Structure 1
């Protein structure tokens, strides 16, 4: 058997393409897996590296159009396996880059302090959401995946992804208004 699963050298992903995809997605995938693994950076890097090794074994013409979703799904499934093995569940943690939600244009210290308090409040509310809602929000807002890609990653339908995201955002709005 050749280097690709059931394929030949000609059907393997070209190294230039793999390098390009790696350059585009590595940081986001590591951050995503790190969040799922409770902040374990080395474990996240190992999972992402394993996913790219598996990508190199796929039939390129079939994998190329949906490589992003395939990589997220592969990383997600491996992270779930690790969580099960280690007997712990992950939640949205402080390693998730929610700092990007902060408006960096504020100049006055009182505005910066108020923004910091608001961001802390949003983080707190996010941590109270169910794990699935946290994950979908992370994939959509942090990683920028489309509903279709999120559906491919999680195994949900596109409609279910939209509904769950709507529920999560609605819950956040309500909980932030009650303060």
Structure 2
């Protein structure tokens, strides 16, 4: 939260969680979906507003103004497989929530069996014309594993560093 408010001072910060977080507006998770599947609750149509979503293990290292100005839907390119999606950072406009929500909640157990992740499910949502952050805000996102570890530093111009899997930011002193 501190990193977001430092780099996007006027942001309204909300945390989707199944526990209370002191000093943070919490949007309660209602469905008990495991792991990354809980992200599907971002698409609950009754929740107002457009979202600029970051996984909690994303480190914000620069201004988010460009990303906040983008009109969604926008998602990251998969770090390991460039043809897929990475859901660590998403712009989710209110206009797509109902379509994604209805598609997923029609058969959530089936989707969780059929797709390896929320990311694969989102790829299958053909009614959503996802654009990629890497095309809209080039050079502003990077992977800790693929970029920072290899270079020994955060590349110039990067605003957000994605930690996908291990290590986590707190395990490397971030």
Computing the radius of gyration over CA atoms, which structure comes out larger, 1 or 2?
1
Q: Which has the higher helix share?
A: 1
Could you tell me the TM-score, scaled by structure 2's length? 0.32
Q: Which has the higher strand share?
A: 2
Could you tell me the TM-score, scaled by structure 1's length? 0.32
